[in-house]
Structure 1
């Protein structure tokens, strides 16, 4: 698994063209298929020398395009980070409401032209932390499914059904206790 991840990162750092870099979808799909074939070959050890030579040749021929693509990706990540910070700070909401678009997309569009190259930024937008008191796991529920207070009998039935749904029965517990007690008896 680690080998596959390392190979994919290496190859995708070199073969990093996008769909808009190709004249047709067919050409782009052929490119993706070729990249996947090379990844498979490197992982499985099929024609490794030939594939490495092909990668080196591609890397030398397309050095500037590879660097440009990496820079473009870094700029997009930096813009996404700035958009995220602006959203978390409260900015971008008015522009989003006026245009009818989501705030993240408006903030991303506004910051795309201001992005410095070569900065790392995560691509996902972080959710704000919840406020308030956390509810402990396994806390007993005081209300049933209808929102009404639960009486003792219905709570006991719900717990029994939950235990049975998990595959446990009282007989199973008794059998295990007997087996453990008899297995601990030493006979000389």
Structure 2
């Protein structure tokens, strides 16, 4: 299990490195989609349950929209906030709010730092599509501790809503995940990124 998970982490890291190296963001997105499909379909640590994996033909995605890619500064003038999120596998995940980003008409989202060894940036999103076309707990935009990192440019953070993806708990109830806190919830539907299949995954 441990060595298998290591290969998953390596492949995700390599996949996002390819995305960051792409000259065209949409081409990088296609590479990412192909890689995610391959991981969920064939990797032993796929979050899909057995029945869903047997029937898997690919993740449903909204078409790429270049208007939903942002390169934005992180506003660090925010009140400190700490959240401790219990999970089944990782114990308590500590989240510290370190700033906010503003993403056009979608609005402002809190940016979090995941505590623990090394740590990482965490940017979840729960938008107006939840419960219909996307998972009720929301999706992730960035989770750098797991290598989901689109990079930066000129000191600004790259946040591309086309790369929104579901956490593991969307695929099978055996997983628990940190979900979007209040400051990462918006009413605007975001018609981008990974979608749910009809009826969901379980």
Higher strand content, 1 or 2: 2
TM-score by length of structure 1 reads 0.22
Higher helix content, 1 or 2: 1
Tell me which structure has the larger Cα radius of gyration: 1
TM-score by length of structure 2 reads 0.21
Specify which structure has the bigger relative contact order, considering alpha-carbon pairs within 8 angstroms and separated by 6 or more residues.
2
